Chain A
Amino acid sequence: MTPELKERFDNLVQQNKILVFMKGNKLMPQCGFSNNVVQILNTLGVPFETVDVLADSEIRQGIKEYSNWPTIPQVYINGQFVGGSDILIEMYQSGELQQMVEVALAS
C-alpha cells in the first residue's frame, strides 16, 4: 500500500467517530451485509459516516489490506477497527456496541 493511501485511511478513520466502509450508501446499501450494519447503527440512532467502496477501486482493495480484513463492510469506532457485519450483530445483541458507541461519542 502506498503511504498516500495509508494516510488517506488514517485520516478517514480518525476524523469520523463512527465510520463504515460499505457497498453503497446509507439510503441504498448494495449488499445485505452492509445493510445489516446500517440498520444496526440507525436503530441506535447515532451519527455515522459511510464510505462507498464501490465508488473507488483503490479504497475497495486498499481497505482490505489496511484492516487485514477480507470483506466489506468494515466498521471503525474512534479510529479502531471493530469488525464486520457478524461482529457488529453479536456486539449489538450483547449490548457492547451501545456502550462502545456512547463512549466514542462522549470523547
Chain B
Amino acid sequence: MISPQQVEEMIKVAMPDAQVQVQDLTGGGDHYQVVVVSSQFEGKGRVQQHQLVYGSLNQAMSSEAIHALALKTYTPQAWQAASQVV
C-alpha cells in the first residue's frame, strides 16, 4: 500500500516539472488514477509517455504495491487544450 503523496513524489523525482493529480479509486491505496502534465512528454507518443511514468513507479508496480494504475498523460499544451474543452 502506497499513499497518494508517495505516488506523486515518485513521479516528480523522474519528472521534476510534472503537475500530478492522484486519485485513490478504492481507498485501499493500491488502485490509482493518475493525471500527469509535463513538458517531458513533448514529441513523444502515448506509449513512450506512459512508459516514462511507469518507469518512475517501477518498484511500486513490480512489487504490486500498486495493483492498478489508470493513467492520463498530457503535454502542457495538450492539457491547456483539454481544460478549455471542459
Contacts and interface: CB of A to CB of B under 8 A. Distances in A.
Interface of A: 33, 64, 68-71, 81-87, 90-91
Interface size class of chain B, counting residues whose CB lies under 8 Å from the partner chain: 10 to 19
Interface of B: 46-47, 50-51, 54, 57-58, 61-62, 68-72
Contacts, number: 33
Given A86-B70, A86-B72, A70 B58 contact: yes
Given A70-B62, A71-B61, A87 B68 contact: no
A82 B46 CA distance: 9
B61 A82 contact: no
Contacts of B62: 64, 70
